[in-house]
Amino acid sequence: MTYGQMRHYADTLNVTISSALLPAGMPGFYDETTRTILIDRQLIYCQKRCTLVHELIHWQHADATRKGVYGARLERRTRRETALKLINPLEYQTAEAMYESNPYQIACELDVTIQIINDYQLILDSSHMHCKAQS
């Protein structure tokens, strides 16, 4: 689904989505009190798409902005769910074989950010470790 299609779909949800110039290092933001998502207008479409999915997951869970351990836990959960929503396992496996596990090339092939690839690889690594522990 493209960023535009996602924005169109999100219009049917109980959330307001807008573009804004956000501070450096902040691609997006969700405010639970106003149920508003802001996406940095300077991002390229691939980044906007990934950021919108990430922020919609915060919205889905009604996450209020938090700092500290709890905030870090919410962010890890959101990044994990974002990677799982954006990456098709078969497409990932094919891209990984084609590009010899190069995260940048895999990200380009799957039209996601390198961060999404890194998060997905962490999921795979933890699943692999979990399977080893149960053997």
Position 135 pLDDT exceeds 70: no
Q: State the pLDDT at residue 11.
A: 87
Position 131 pLDDT exceeds 80: no
Q: Which residues of 24-59 are buried (b: 16+ CB within 10 A; e: fewer)?
A: eeebbbbbeeeebbbbbeebeebbbbbbbbbbbbbb
pLDDT digit string (tens) for 16-74?
999 999 999 999 999 999 999 999 999 999 999 999 999 999 999 999 877 888 889 99
Q: Which two tokens stand for residue 34?
A: 């106003």
Q: Which two tokens stand for residue 38?
A: 């802001």
> Distance from first CA to last CA of the chain, Å, rounded?
38
Q: State the pLDDT at residue 128.
A: 63
Q: State the pLDDT at residue 65.
A: 79
Position 76 pLDDT exceeds 60: yes
Residue 130: which pLDDT band, with cuts at 50, 70 and 90?
A: very low
With tokens 């906007």, the residue in question is 48
Position 132 pLDDT exceeds 80: no
Position 133 pLDDT exceeds 90: no
Count, residues in the chain: 135
Q: State the pLDDT at residue 102.
A: 96
DSSP-derived 3-state class of residue 37: strand
Position 85 pLDDT exceeds 90: yes
The CA distances from residue 92 to 63, 78, 86, 118, in Å, are 29, 20, 10, 12
User: Across residues 105-110, what is the average pLDDT?
Assistant: 98
